[in-house]
Amino acid sequence: MQISNLFFIIISAIFINNFVLVRFLGLCPYIGVSKKLDSALGMGMAVIFVMTMASVFTWLINHFFLSPVTGIFNYDLTFLRTITFILSIAVLVQFVEMVIRKSAPELYKALGIYLPLITTNCAVLGVSILNITENYNFIEALLNGMASGVGFTLVLLLMAGMRERLDRAKVPKAFKGMPIAFILAGTMALAFLGFSGLKF
């Protein structure tokens, strides 16, 4: 395993193949929770945490149970991938919520309301499936999960910062709210296309 390879995975997940702007994953929270900067930060932190944990868990499940080569059943159970992944993500989110509530009430107050929303954030299931289809090993999957979460948080924060300003701008009535947010996202996506030059 090469360090440069790991470095490339991180850069790629944050900038080149940004989850929101290039892969179109996690759009609902991106548009829904980006109205205020501090709630965006809370959501972003929760997503980084859950995406990293989910990458680890689903990778282990795939490796030890579902895969026909390395699994303990020696049988190709990959057709159950979607169902097991989404269930384990749901369980994981519940579990994380309980642990945080008990051990870190401060953190729970900050993240609390965002945690349940994450189960249906397609970025989490997306990163789990991508880890498998890209044949990542354990370390790569972990890093990819974390970096993808960071990429998500980055654009979420940028978006929230801009939308706070946008509130004071004069926007045609029909475009108030979501439509103008999408146009804004489009210009951001244009900017992120520039990162594609980082490759090679």
Nearer residue to another protein within complex by CB, 86 or 107: 86
In the complex, minimum distance from the CB of residue 106 to another protein, in angstroms, rounded to a whole number: 27
Contacting positions for another protein (CB under 8 A): 12, 16-17, 21-28, 31-32, 79-83, 86-87, 90, 119-122, 124-126, 129-130, 133-134, 172-176, 178-183, 185-187, 189-190, 192-193, 196, 199-200
Nearer residue to another protein within complex by CB, 144 or 153: 144
Give the pair of three-digit tokens for residue 192: 């992120």
Could you tell me which of 180, 183, 123 has the C-alpha nearest to residue 153? 123
Nearer residue to another protein within complex by CB, 105 or 161: 161
C-alpha 163/C-alpha 186 separation (Å) is: 14
How many Cβ atoms are within 10 Å of 88's Cβ, its own excluded?
18
Could you tell me which of 20, 26, 25, 66 has the C-alpha nearest to residue 158? 20
C-alpha 54/C-alpha 71 separation (Å) is: 19
Nearer residue to another protein within complex by CB, 90 or 104: 90
- Where would I find the beta strands (DSSP E) of the chain? none
Nearer residue to another protein within complex by CB, 129 or 157: 129
Give the pair of three-digit tokens for residue 143: 């890093």
